[in-house]
Structure 1
Amino acid sequence: MPINPIAIVSSGSISALGTSKKSVWKNYLSGKSLFSKVPFQDEEVYVSKITEEDRKEIISLQAENQKYHQIDDTVLNAIFSARKAIKKAGWEKETVGVNIGSSRGATALFEKYHQEFLSKKVSSTLASPSTTLGNISSWVMQDLGIEGVALSHSITCSTALHSVLNAVAWLESGMSKKFLVGGSEAPLTPFTIAQMKALKLYAPIGKTDFPNRSMDFSKDKNTMILGEAAASFCLEKTTEKNKGLKIIGYGFGSEKLKHSVSISSDAQCLQTSMQMALKKAGLKHVDAIVLHAPGTKKGDTSELSAIKQVFPEELPALTSNKFYIGHSFGASGAMSLEMAMLMLEEQHFIENPFYSNKNIPKQLNTIMVNAVGFGGNAVSVIVSR
């Protein structure tokens, strides 16, 4: 039985794509990847960074409030995106639930405080409160001056879409009438990059326009690249006043792991989440899918295999955004959701340079968004206009 649609009232984001709807869409239309090289140990690595101009916006937050010098960029980016979403929705003085998650949380501050501890053998007074995962949603709620429940969580790379699931549950139960959801990640730190390189997932430096080869199903090397980003969305039940973009289906799934970062060759968890989302939407097909496709050999091919299992007769149009902005871990699902929303609003399908679709719909009405992370946790959300 189809669910009651959940309205996406507004959104806000910050990433290498920009901060305004105009700049984000312009960068999507450019067809150019947004990576830069930064020093890492004795070499260089690719990263996707917030622009220096947009970084000034984050610095301006710290100028407003001296306490904001004590919190991590993960939290600051979340505050910035949340302010934009709340302002667009006109929710400034309302009771609003907040659920903004992150895979890694306060990465830079945690590394800083740990280094201080190793050298001085004493912990900083603010080390604990400023690095706890819960401070993302708590600071957002404090900054906005709103009342309601504040939740933060980490379910690796499916974190942001899990926040959507949480919001749906709260809205449907009647425990909340409005919910702010999303994900934030600032993972461009030495230890975090070293972890991905240790897993042999990181893209090698080379002469190419697209170092992250998301959806290149013939690649022989992993090409994941880390990016910083945050995106927030205001959700409420659909009414006569908010008949724009809406969530009409959602699903989740998990699978038994062989090791901590494994995924089955046909991504059983994604098959489950996609089938559930279709059932809840009352659909057998969608016009397009924004893949999780991190740019790893196993991650990309297993997701395509799962999609072929769920749509055996005709594949929807397939695309991704990580060849533009890399992988922002817990924020990645939110960035993919934003991409889907823009394609629906603009009625324009953004193609992936590594994948040729046989059929691209002339009209986009329904787009599925996938996210899956370490631990075999998958989420699929269907957005409609």
Structure 2
Amino acid sequence: MYKPISITAVASISPLGTSLSEAWNNYKSPQHHISENTFQNITALVAQIPETSQKFIETLRQSDNKYKSLDNTVLYAMYASREAIKNAGWNGSDNFGINIGSSRGATHLFETYYDDFLKNNKAQTLSSPTTTLGNISSWVAHDLQTQGPEISHSITCSTALHAMLNGIAWINSGMCNKFLVGGSEAPLTAFTIAQMQALKVYAKQKATLYAIEKSYPCRALDLNKTKNTMVLGEGASMACLEVGETKNALAIIKGFGYATEILEHNISISSDAVCFQKSMQMTLGDTNPEEVDVIVMHAPGTVKGDLSEYNAINKIFCNKTPKLTTNKWKVGHSFGTSGMLSIEMAILMLQHQEFIEVPFIEKQKAPRQIKNILVNAVGFGGNAVSILLSK
């Protein structure tokens, strides 16, 4: 990396709420945010944004007549983006770049329009412009009144961290000195959940809302589980990137890496996650692996996914494995948003100098200090990204 880059703000809307203080308080609790809900005729465990957050989104939807036709994916992105630039002290005249991705895009709206087409054999007027993936960043740019470059993309579950890579590249090129990056996902529809169930990766046992007892339906990072326990979540998360080491930096991007591996199956990576080994090695660069205090794992809650990433970490860090954690047992897997929610979790640990553990995993000795945190993400296609954050 040729130029140091600061993260000057993060903001999100997720099952943890809408502010960093809410998120931190929820991370401090052993409670999860997974509940059972029914979508059309499909009943499943999911992690939804709370009712108070849903009201914020509905207020945003009603604030402009043009916004009434937009999918939640776009509205979640708008909400989180507004909060992020406010926290960073940016305004539209800064002409910062925007790269917001989504694995699925306007899932709910697309399915609604398609159902209507099957019934009437005629498409509604706005069915195309409101379901194209590119409308996320363009609508956010419209809402924020900025004139910088706009990028929307989908690289499955590593989408948000690929957005961060793009922001880093634009800043290093000198074409921009500020970039808003992140992901947005609203995948809680019957068809999307059915797709995950068809892959046999979805959790089946019932959940007790906010249960503190033994009921943790998503067993992300539990390497002894014998069944897949992935649960879908929703939300959006954004980060503001600025060139240099700024005074208001929440964290400095110390390294980044990426890799893709040749797959033997459409959804799986190798047993020792070669893509993660390569992305983590690239991220570390000249950094001594022993300087990494914590790794926020992708850990989707599947048997093979969690174990392969763990094996890759052991290959790179040998016998001095950093403390390991994840947030998917608490907030589910929000596809393209998940990597940026992990970045937010890492920044909170750096700020508070406190390790957030997984409650059903054997207690790890807390690190003496938290100076460097590695964040991982990977998706269908074996496209891994690793980001190293420094205090």
Q: In the aligned structure 1, how far is the partner of 2:249 from the partner of 2:151?
A: 27
SS of the equivalent of 2:377 reads: strand
Q: Are the aligned partners of 1:214 and 1:354 in contact in 2 as well (CA < 8 Å)?
A: no
SS of the equivalent of 1:349 reads: coil
The size of the alignment, in residue pairs, is 384
Q: 1:155 to 1:43 in 2, by over 3 A?
A: closer
* Paired position in structure 1 for 2:18: 19
Q: Mapping of 1:170-185 within 5 angstroms?
A: 170-185=170-185
* Paired position in structure 1 for 2:71: 72
Give the alignment's TM-score, normalised by structure 2.
0.95
SS of the equivalent of 1:183 reads: strand
Q: 1:41 to 1:62 in 2, by over 3 A?
A: closer
Q: In the aligned structure 1, how far is the partner of 2:53 from the partner of 2:108?
A: 19
Per the TM alignment, residue 241 of structure 1 is displaced from its structure 2 partner at its CA by: 3.2
Match of residue 374, structure 1, among 375, 380, 388? 380
Q: Which letter does structure 1 place at the counterpart of 2:359?
A: P
Per the TM alignment, residue 361 of structure 1 is displaced from its structure 2 partner at its CA by: 0.9
Per the TM alignment, residue 21 of structure 1 is displaced from its structure 2 partner at its CA by: 1.2
Q: Which letter does structure 2 place at the counterpart of 1:66?
A: N
Q: Are the aligned partners of 1:287 and 1:365 in contact in 2 as well (CA < 8 Å)?
A: yes
* Paired position in structure 2 for 1:95: 95
Match of residue 367, structure 2, among 361, 365, 382? 361
* Paired position in structure 2 for 1:126: 126
Q: In the aligned structure 2, how far is the partner of 1:357 from the partner of 1:374?
A: 31
* 1:42-91 deviation line (CA, Å, top 9, x unaligned): 56311100111111111111121011111100000000000000111111
* Paired position in structure 1 for 2:211: none
Q: Are the aligned partners of 2:9 and 2:249 in contact in 1 as well (CA < 8 Å)?
A: no
1:347 aligns with 2:353: yes
Q: Gaps (5+ residues) in structure 1?
A: none
Q: In the aligned structure 1, how far is the partner of 2:231 from the partner of 2:120?
A: 33
Q: In the aligned structure 1, how far is the partner of 2:41 from the partner of 2:130?
A: 31
Q: 1:27 to 1:88 in 2, by over 3 A?
A: same
Q: In the aligned structure 2, how far is the partner of 1:140 from the partner of 1:3?
A: 29
Give the alignment's TM-score, normalised by structure 1.
0.97
Q: Are the aligned partners of 1:213 and 1:223 in contact in 2 as well (CA < 8 Å)?
A: yes
* Paired position in structure 2 for 1:221: 227
Q: In the aligned structure 1, how far is the partner of 2:13 from the partner of 2:193?
A: 21
* 1:131-165 deviation line (CA, Å, top 9, x unaligned): 00000000000000111100000000000000000
Q: In the aligned structure 1, how far is the partner of 2:350 from the partner of 2:147?
A: 32
Per the TM alignment, residue 358 of structure 1 is displaced from its structure 2 partner at its CA by: 4.6
Q: In the aligned structure 1, how far is the partner of 2:296 from the partner of 2:167?
A: 21
Q: Are the aligned partners of 1:285 and 1:311 in contact in 2 as well (CA < 8 Å)?
A: no
Q: In the aligned structure 1, how far is the partner of 2:287 from the partner of 2:175?
A: 23
Match of residue 265, structure 1, among 244, 268, 271? 271
Q: In the aligned structure 2, how far is the partner of 1:241 from the partner of 1:319?
A: 29
* Paired position in structure 2 for 1:117: 117
Match of residue 337, structure 1, among 333, 343, 349? 343
Q: Which letter does structure 1 place at the counterpart of 2:21?
A: K
Q: In the aligned structure 1, how far is the partner of 2:385 from the partner of 2:53?
A: 30
Q: Mapping of 1:53-68 within 5 angstroms?
A: 53-68=52-67
Q: In the aligned structure 2, how far is the partner of 1:145 from the partner of 1:285?
A: 41
* 1:259-311 deviation line (CA, Å, top 9, x unaligned): 21121000000000000000065655400000000000110000000000000
Structure 1 residue ranges, 4+ long, deviating more than 4 angstroms after superposition: 40-43, 280-284
* 1:86-125 deviation line (CA, Å, top 9, x unaligned): 1111111311100000000000000001101111111111
Q: In the aligned structure 1, how far is the partner of 2:338 from the partner of 2:126?
A: 29
Q: In the aligned structure 2, how far is the partner of 1:153 from the partner of 1:7?
A: 23
1:197 aligns with 2:187: no
Q: Are the aligned partners of 2:250 and 2:347 in contact in 1 as well (CA < 8 Å)?
A: no
Q: In the aligned structure 1, how far is the partner of 2:89 from the partner of 2:62?
A: 24
What is the identity percentage for the equivalent residue pairs of Structure 1 and Structure 2? 53
* Paired position in structure 2 for 1:163: 163
Q: Are the aligned partners of 2:36 and 2:206 in contact in 1 as well (CA < 8 Å)?
A: no
SS of the equivalent of 1:37 reads: strand
Q: In the aligned structure 1, how far is the partner of 2:39 from the partner of 2:24?
A: 31
Q: Which letter does structure 2 place at the counterpart of 1:273?
A: S
Q: Which letter does structure 1 place at the counterpart of 2:51?
A: E
Q: In the aligned structure 2, how far is the partner of 1:217 from the partner of 1:282?
A: 27
1:29 aligns with 2:23: no
Match of residue 281, structure 2, among 269, 275, 286? 275
Q: Gaps (5+ residues) in structure 2?
A: 208-213
* Paired position in structure 1 for 2:138: 138
SS of the equivalent of 1:9 reads: strand
